[in-house]
Amino acid sequence: MPQHNSGNSKEIFERISRVAEEMLLVFQEQGMRKLPEIKLETDIFKDLGIDSVEFMDLIGLIEKEFGVSIEPDKAATKRTFADIVSYVDELLKKS
């Protein structure tokens, strides 16, 4: 069940990185790519090597984790985990 805990960027990052790692683990198990270290400054496309479809899958998993709705046009502007953490924190503060 999603937990709403606005204002805690560290916890938001930990939860988002866990979701991303779970998704990337599937890729690793399929021999598609290595599992990189995820940091706030990690570029989701360049550093993780995911494409736009995989990115939208990740956004869907984040929405489910936090019980928020991320607009596709807003999601498209997010490149790093810091960008996503900030945006999710903003959404949680509004809910």
Read off the pLDDT of residues 38-88 as tens digits, 9 standing for 90 and up: 999 999 999 888 889 999 999 999 999 999 999 999 999 999 999 999 999
**Within a domain: residue 4?**
no
User: From residue 36, how far is each of 21, 26, 39, 65 by CA, in Å?
Assistant: 9, 13, 9, 21
Residue type, 78: K
At 26, which CATH number? 1.10.1200.10
Domain count, the chain: 1
**Within a domain: residue 23?**
yes
- Can you name the residues that pair with 43 across neighbouring β-strands? 80
The pTM of the whole model exceeds 0.85: no
Q: Which domain holds residue 81?
A: 9-94
Confidence band for 16, pLDDT divided at 50, 70 and 90: very high
Tell me, what's the pLDDT at 31? Answer: 66
88 near 2, Cβ under 8 Å? no
**Within a domain: residue 60?**
yes
Tell me, what's the pLDDT at 26? Answer: 78
Tell me, what's the pLDDT at 78? Answer: 95
